[in-house]
Copies of this chain bind each other. A is one copy, B any other.
């Protein structure tokens, strides 16, 4: 929760007011921009983490989670500026953390299992740990997307810039 609470402010500090050459370009066809990533984080907070935690508590392994739509954020982003999305992410995340606190989960509840539609059985604890790691995977992705926009400006220094060597396995 300490990490989950910090991600919106970290992305806000990094992205708000940056020129669109950094934030509105992707790494190629079908790839996310930094704006898409913020939309995806909002959409995942609304559809994925706390809703799935509730499903584990209610149904256990009996009912699989709803599949997650990797492009579901397109609706979140439509007609909205990056600034509006950053504000929305802060608001939605704070609400999700309130919801999580209100569940007041016990250690035995954290060990309960649900059913992921493709991964099979997962524990509530694994789901919540993944929420935090998912934030980090997208911080990782945003740094890579932005560095890509700068790729042709660094000349021979690209040899020293690991982020420019990071490829799809990090997507």
Contacts and interface: CB of A to CB of B under 8 A. Distances in A.
Interface of A: 2-3, 6-7, 9-15, 17-19, 22, 116, 119-120, 122-123, 125-127, 129-130, 132-134, 136-137, 139-144, 146-147, 150, 153-157, 159-166, 168-171
Task: Give this chain's copy count.
Answer: 2
- A-B pairs, top 9 by smallest CB distance, nearest first, are A126-B155, A129-B153, A10-B14, A9-B13, A137-B163, A130-B157, A140-B143, A162-B170, A139-B143
Contacts of A147: 133, 136-137, 140
A22 B3 CA distance: 9
A2 B17 contact: yes
Majority-rule SS of A interface residues? helix
23 contacts: A2-B18, A6-B13, A6-B15, A6-B18, A9-B14, A116-B156, A122-B157, A126-B155, A129-B153, A129-B154, A130-B155, A130-B161, A133-B153, A133-B161, A136-B146, A136-B147, A139-B143, A140-B143, A163-B170, A165-B169, A165-B170, A166-B170, A170-B170
Contacts of A119: 156-157, 159
Given A154-B126, A162-B171, A170-B170, A146 B3 contact: yes
A133 B150 CA distance: 7
A166 B164 contact: no
A163 B133 contact: yes
Nearest to A116: B156
B162 A140 contact: yes
Given A169-B165, A170-B162, A2 B14 contact: no
